Structure 1
């Protein structure tokens, strides 16, 4: 009698432990939006997606959120709180997540997301329209004088995106809306 209960208890405990080990922490998804189910929008003066995630955590009605990067310096970043969890859609405009998800910036190759390498600039220029960090990175790679680069999304330095080419490699510092890289 006791043997059967112990066996069942061990099986239940094993199943619970296996499920706990298999669960991975939830993370926000950079370059994804969750359109729909909005019940509130708020400006994010810092321009940091982590502040949007925190707004959701502090609101008991919030189930998911989407952070929209600024489109220019007059229309800043916006946080959209959602009362359900809509499906995610790939879009470079945004970072989105569900309640309880922290913001983890992607680390892909040599690009440093949400990193500014302030200083050491020898040249900078505005980027037009849909030109992104690839153009900034390519300009640095093609210039033997350039050792590192920083790309500022539209709305973080001015209306358009901006590229900074650097003759010195400066220490990285976290700054939302910026992408940097070291070339040589």
Structure 2
């Protein structure tokens, strides 16, 4: 529910905040070797068609807190890759990961330090850090989902950064089992502080200045392929019916095998998945994207869909 007032919201003042090490008692950390082998093969994500996501990349910002694993980037990267790309794509491969912060070399280590996060972080400006938010947890700028409001929460800080406000609003939504979507209205549009609207149904979306909206994807069922499906690889079979060919769709992550194809036909990748009882889904990558030839990725789970004009994917079982 967005309606603009004539006042302008204040921006967060610039400060530098110290980074804090992880204090969470995480379970076993990700298997770094397995994930690292798959990093170079991730497909480039094409921009979404429903508005620009908020905070997919936040240069000069630190996500403070929510850490469950961290490591120095002290090994050679594939051609042209940056430590920030390595860190963010490492997160893409780990279903637990929601966001990352990369700390510049010389601050915490002689190497860049990658911090993986699963939630409960706050956004703070820091020129020694760059952060990235996994797209399924991003919000969309200047978007509102009209109707369905069952609760509103006013945030009191008039200088709250919209990135931080949208993340806080998402956390409020996730805490309430009724909540399917949310809209955060930036400070100065409906009140002195920001306002978080929790929604129990989702209709269409509208352009709305000052609004940042998002979905709790784990609680959604989608018929429109532009929306992302549920992401839990164990439960995905119940929420993602088999579809053997999804054009312009990438299923990043959960890979257990990959191989080059000298015959450029997605049906060959589909057949390989169908012939392997361990394979639940696949992604075919067009030639020239990950080397000279096409490449087929076989997956033990069903990751979230993202749009990519250079891929064909399918859910087999």
Q: Report the TM-score when normalising by structure 1.
A: 0.40
From the CA coordinates, give the structure whose radius of gyration is larger.
Answer: 1
More helix by share: 1
Q: Report the TM-score when normalising by structure 2.
A: 0.24
Q: Which has the higher contact order (CA 8 A, sep 6+)?
A: 1
